[in-house]
């Protein structure tokens, strides 16, 4: 019969070197074993519907929707990773140090790609509202596709570089077997916070403040029945563009609200230590944000609701459904 000490260890066979299993309070247990699995499943399912919808229906192949596709891809992986966090919620990592490093790179890359995509969405809305006449020539499918690829490639290279020291010596910061921890020095931590949070958030806020000001001006002009020219003399954006700006503005506000705790906790003392084998509240908040985005689309975009109906009724397998009108 095992002793209490043995049952508390991740690997009882290596008694002296094994990490201890984490104990959870009642509220933590509810979050880990009930709320997080539901959030993970819902996040993966809803974002998969977004991915299939935009990828399949040709009518949805617009620059703005391609940005939503990129965001849905990062949200999908966040949902998968959230499920992975649940599996290791007892604090025991059994996949080795190499997989620990790769897991962290994928996790950080998804977050960086999400932030980068949000910046691209802000730029897209800025041009659509503030310079509508030249939107179709400035923002094209090919240019947006190139920007998306650059965003993901730069995220992978950046996070790989950020974790170089951890990957060189995989067990450098491991205090016991069963632990998965990534440590980033203070200088790299500050740089990471600036480049992946402060700078992008500042750009997003500045761009959307400008969008908000122009949208208010155009709304007043429309109410005054001057729909072709705004008070500043610029051509008004379409109502659909204004609605898209409001919808994506909600997405951005929710995104920033959910990610603030994650980035605030990224700098602790002299070194930043990220322990994968713990399940802090900020992990769930990131997953919850990724789950909320498709819900916002469902409430605001008829094309998403129409696409989902076709998908869940299996009509998507019929011939020529990619040319179906969903707008």
The answer to whether residue 110 scores a pLDDT higher than 60 is yes
How high is the pLDDT of residue 264? 65
φ/ψ of 177, rounded to 5, equals: -75, 125
Pick from 5-19, 102-116, 190-204 the range whose average pLDDT is largest. Answer: 102-116
Q: What is the pLDDT of residues 242-262, one digit of tens each?
A: 676 777 788 888 887 887 776
Considering only residues 51 and 83, tell me which one the structure prediction assigns the higher pLDDT: 51
Q: How many CB atoms lie within 10 A of CB 233?
A: 6
pLDDT band at residue 4 using 50, 70 and 90 as cut-offs: very low
Look at phi and psi of residue 166 and say left if phi exceeds 0, alpha if psi is from -120 to 50, else beta. Answer: alpha
pLDDT of residue 69: 95
Instruction: For residue 9, name the pLDDT band (cuts at 50, 70, 90).
Output: confident
CA–CA distance, 115 with 197 (Å, rounded to integer) = 8
Question: Does residue 106 register a pLDDT over 70?
Answer: yes
Confidence of residue 54 (pLDDT cuts 50, 70, 90): very high
pLDDT at 219: 64
Chain mean pLDDT for the chain: 80
Say whether pLDDT at 287 is over 50. Answer: yes
Q: How far apart are CA 151 and CA 162, in angstroms?
A: 16
**pTM given for the model:** 0.84
Question: What domains are there in the chain, each with its CATH number?
Answer: 29-323 (1.20.1070.10)
The one-character DSSP state at 90 is: T
325 or 243, which is more confident?
325
Q: What percent of the chain has pLDDT above 90?
A: 24
Q: How confident is the model at residue 186 (pLDDT cuts 50, 70, 90)?
A: confident
User: Quick one: pLDDT band at residue 263, thresholds 50, 70, 90?
Assistant: low
Query: In whole angstroms, what separates CA 6 from the centre of its chain?
Result: 39
Q: Look at residue 270 and tell me whether its pLDDT is greater than 50.
A: no
Distance CA 228, CA 235 (A): 6
CB 262 within 8 A of CB 288: no
Strand pairing of 272-275 and 181-184? antiparallel
What's the confidence (pLDDT) of residue 157?
A: 92
């Amino acid at each position: 019969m095992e002793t209490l000490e043995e049952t508390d260890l991740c690997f009882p066979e290596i008694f002296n070197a094994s990490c201890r299993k984490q104990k959870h309070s009642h509220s933590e247990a509810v979050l880990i074993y009930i709320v997080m699995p539901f959030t993970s499943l819902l996040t993966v399912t809803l974002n998969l519907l977004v991915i299939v919808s935009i990828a399949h229906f040709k009518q949805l192949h617009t620059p703005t929707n391609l940005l939503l596709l990129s965001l849905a891809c990062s949200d999908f992986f966040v949902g998968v990773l959230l499920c992975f966090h649940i599996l290791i919620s007892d604090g025991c990592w059994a996949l080795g140090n190499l997989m620990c490093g790769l897991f962290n790179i994928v996790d950080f890359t998804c977050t960086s790609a999400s932030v980068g995509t949000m910046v691209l969405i802000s730029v897209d809305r800025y041009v659509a509202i503030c310079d509508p006449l030249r939107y179709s020539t400035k923002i094209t499918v090919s240019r947006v596709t190139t920007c998306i690829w650059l965003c993901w490639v730069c995220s992978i290279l950046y996070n790989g570089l950020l974790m170089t020291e951890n990957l060189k010596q995989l067990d450098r910061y491991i205090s016991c077997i069963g632990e998965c921890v990534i440590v980033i020095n203070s200088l790299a931590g500050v740089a990471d916070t600036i480049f992946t949070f402060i700078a992008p958030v500042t750009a997003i806020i500045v761009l959307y403040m400008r969008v908000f000001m122009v949208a208010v001006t155009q709304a007043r002009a429309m109410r005054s029945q001057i729909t072709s020219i705004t008070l500043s003399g610029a051509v008004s954006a379409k109502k659909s563009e204004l609605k898209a700006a409001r919808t994506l503005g909600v997405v951005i506000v929710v995104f920033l609200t959910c990610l603030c705790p994650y980035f605030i906790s990224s700098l602790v003392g002299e070194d930043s230590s990220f322990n994968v084998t713990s399940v802090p509240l900020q992990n769930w908040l990131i997953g919850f944000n990724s789950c909320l985005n498709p819900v916002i689309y469902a409430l605001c975009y008829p094309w998403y609701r129409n696409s989902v109906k076709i998908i869940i009724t299996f009509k998507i397998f019929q011939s020529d459904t990619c040319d179906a009108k969903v707008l």
